[in-house]
Amino acid sequence: MKRYLILEDGHIFAGEGFGAPTITTGEIVFNTGMSGYQETITDQSYNGQIIAFTYPLIGNAGVNRDDYESINPTTKGVVVREVARVTGNWRAQMSLDEFLKRKGIPGISGIDTRALTKIIRSQGTMKASIVDAADDHAFDQLKALVLPKNQVQQVSTSQPYPAPANGRNVVVIDYGLKHSILRELGERQCNITVMPYTTTAQEILDLHPDGVMLSNGPGDPKDVSETLEMIQGIQGKIPLFGICLGHQLFALANGADTFKMKFGHRGFNHPVREIATGRIDFTSQNHGYAVDPESVNHDNLLITHEEINDHTVEGLRHRLYPAFSVQFHPDAAPGPHDAAHLFDEFMEMMDAFNDRQTQGGNHAQAYRYS
């Protein structure tokens, strides 16, 4: 089935359709991962986006029940050089083609993804469509598209739900969370309550949690500014850990600014330096926005990590409160597990805070970082 990928700047790529037999429109981005396509496609941070995979063969391991990051992905489309027609992994339950058909996501193969990636790197992310005909009508429809600003609202849970265990009580604010975050907390026996992004500080405090996790999610962090008051209301009272979008929101809540990157970081090989120690971790990343380092108030926030290639801010820690955040994904699904230790640091932070609370210590003084 002949299909076309058309870009906002006028480029046309001809290919073969697979997956759902529908047309689609969204923001096109590229992912440099060599594996982990199931986790990538089901990551809600790709809400509204068409994913172009730079690795030439996608789909050879099929799709299985263990690697979902969400059950109902909201990715708009998938672009590949070649889609595997045969799956050879013992865990596979269906092919990528069948999976995309079931989830209503169209795909297109036979695309020169190297040339496409060069365009995105040069021009920046842009609107794109997968269509049956690359005619004037298709381009008119593409130009008329207004990218949504309510992306977190589209993917966040509408009702709280638990993931019970017998350990530390952790509230996870769902901005579009990956299941791998819950897996990492579950492996540490955390008793989890997942809450909507509209949750207030008082609703969290009423649960008396040991810690709060701000999850990843899609879109511009400034589009969910209503959550900043909640973050300001709990920091200093409960240990806090933010990941990806949660990191950006933590920064905004403490007076920093964010900006849209030209083409973002999307892949599993991004080197990140911990500034204090010089330690290098290779990390999994998926974001199109970043924290402006010039906007960081150094009286309140300490920049803890930076991306080696472009020096973007990859980690923050509050100087007064038990609160920190990272731009990358320490849950590493997919990707390297170099940074999984940050979940252990969160556990230690919660324990230390509870010990000081029991002893009646001065929290602000105890957590001051120079």
Going by their DSSP bridges, the two strands 57-58 and 82-83 should be labelled as parallel
Tens digit of each residue's pLDDT (9 = 90 or more) over 72-121: 999 999 999 999 989 989 999 999 999 999 999 999 999 999 999 999 99
The boundaries of every CATH 3.50.30.20 domain in the chain are 2-147
Is there a binding annotation on residue 248?
yes
Q: Which CATH superfamily is domain 152-366 in?
A: Class I glutamine amidotransferase (GATase) domain (3.40.50.880)
pLDDT category at 369 given cuts 50, 70, 90 is very low
Is there a binding annotation on residue 288?
yes
Q: Is the pTM of the predicted complex or chain greater than 0.85?
A: yes
What would the mean pLDDT of 181-200 be, rounded to a whole number? 98
**C-alpha dihedral (64, 29, 327, 220), degrees to nearest 10:** -110
Is there a binding annotation on residue 284?
no
Query: What distance in Å separates the CA atoms of residue 33 and residue 266, rounded to the nearest whole number?
Result: 8
Is there a binding annotation on residue 286?
yes
pLDDT category at 358 given cuts 50, 70, 90 is confident
> CA–CA distance from 285 to each of 88, 115, 193, 262, 306 (Å)?
27, 22, 25, 15, 13
The boundaries of every CATH 3.40.50.880 domain in the chain are 152-366
What per-residue confidence (pLDDT) applies to 361? 58
**DSSP alpha helices (H): ranges in 159-198?**
179-187
Tens digit of each residue's pLDDT (9 = 90 or more) over 230-278: 999 999 999 999 999 999 999 999 999 999 999 999 999 999 999 999 9
What per-residue confidence (pLDDT) applies to 356? 86
The values of phi and psi at residue 69, to 5°, are -100, -15
Is there a binding annotation on residue 289?
yes
Contact in structure between 327 and 312 (CB atoms under 8 Å): yes
The 3-state DSSP class for residue 338 equals coil
Contact in structure between 131 and 21 (CB atoms under 8 Å): no
Residue type, position 37, single letter: Y
Quick one: three-class SS letters along 30-84? EECCCCCHHHHHCCHHHCCEEEEECCCEECCCCECCCCCCCCCCCCCEEECCEEC
Catalytic sites, residue numbers: 244, 329, 331
Cα 151 to chain centroid distance, Å, stands at 12
The CATH code of domain 2-147 reads: 3.50.30.20
Q: How many alpha carbons lie under 13 Å from residue 128 in its C-beta half-sphere? A: 31
Query: What distance in Å separates the CA atoms of residue 20 and residue 158, rounded to the nearest whole number?
Result: 27
